[in-house]
Amino acid sequence: MNELSQTVKSLGLEKYRRHIFLCADATEPKCCPREQSVAAWEYLKKRLKELNLVGPEPLVYRSKSNCLRVCIQGPIAVVYPEGTWYHSCTPEVLEQIIQEHLVGGKPVVQFAFAKNPMCDPD
């Protein structure tokens, strides 16, 4: 097995159900202070690992984005395949998103501000 195939397997790239992108550690932070976005990213990583939601058999895949271009009420996150966009993603809000949306499948309406679901390619 080559290195790329091993990485695909170790990250569970063909198995996860949801993908969360979080705007964190922006080069030019505008939506919130850099420290706040970094704290949110660290919390998200820690909780997903604690809950065994990441790894070779993941439910969730996570990606840090330098900027999601919604430069207001950050940190900003988006969850796919539902395409639900969230504002104010502090650790407390992320916990709700983890429990209710990433695990439970129900978007957190209180913090959702836009939706653009992925289309089925078939």
- Would you state the structure tokens that stand for residue 27, as one six-digit string? 């080069």
Backbone torsions φ then ψ of 21, nearest 5 degrees: -105, 135
Go through 30-47 and write b for each residue having 16 or more CB atoms within 10 A of its CB, e for each that does not. ebbeeebbbbbbebbeeb
- Res 61: pLDDT: 95
- Res 109: pLDDT: 97
pLDDT, block means (10 residues), the chain with 122 residues = 90 93 91 94 98 91 94 96 97 98 97 89 52
- Would you state the structure tokens that stand for residue 83, as one six-digit string? 């395409």
| 56 half-sphere exposure, CB direction, 13 A CA radius | 5
Residue 80 burial (C-beta neighbours within 10 Å; 0-12, 13-18, 19+): middle
